[in-house]
Amino acid sequence: QVQLVESGGGLVQAGGSLRLSCVASGGTFSRYAMGWFRQAPGKEREFVAAIPWSGDMTYYADSVKGRFTISRDNAKNTVYLQMNSLKSEDTGVYYCAAPPRLRNSGLGQMTTYDSWGLGTQVTVSS
């Protein structure tokens, strides 16, 4: 398992942008796929985006396609989530997660991941 720390959350108006960062430690970052999930008040945690350890593909929830971009910088042990055209329904706590080393399948499912950060709050005002 790796240790994950998210940052970059905050309060933004609808239509605005935020970039979340997640720094990993305790493992060879380049060999871990990474994912972002979010949880709105009173709702279950849901998948947002993922990137395999190979970095050659990206996956998104339908609700964020075309607005959010996941990327990684292996030299900085960091995964990013660029969020544009934010909507009030994007409000929630955003979590960074990593599956077991070299796992590249099932990245859209929470149960695939065994390392989680504590989350960062994103609030979008309408």
Q: What's 71's DSSP letter? A: E
**Strand 10-13 to strand 120-125: parallel, antiparallel, or no bridges (unpaired)?**
parallel
Q: What pLDDT band is residue 42 in, cutting at 50, 70 and 90?
A: very high
**In angstroms, rounded to a whole number, what is the distance separating the alpha carbons of residues 65 and 3?**
27
- What does the pLDDT read at residue 95? 98
Contact (CB, 8 A) for 29 and 73: no
pLDDT over 90 (residue 55)? no
Around Cβ 98, how many Cβ atoms within 10 Å? Answer: 26
pLDDT digits (tens, 9 = 90+) for 67-115: 999 999 999 999 999 999 999 999 999 999 999 999 999 999 999 999 9
State the burial class of residue 4 (Cβ atoms within 10 Å of its Cβ: 0-12, 13-18, 19+). buried
Q: Which residues contact 14 (CB under 8 A, 6 or more apart)?
A: 86, 87, 88, 124, 125, 126
What's the token pair of residue 28? 């060879």
Q: Which amino acid is at 64?
A: V
- What does the pLDDT read at residue 1? 87
Q: Taking all residues of the chain, what is their mean pLDDT, rounded to a whole number?
A: 97
- What does the pLDDT read at residue 118? 98
Partner residues linked to 9 by β-bridges: none
Contact (CB, 8 A) for 118 and 6: yes
- Mean pLDDT value of segment 31-57: 96
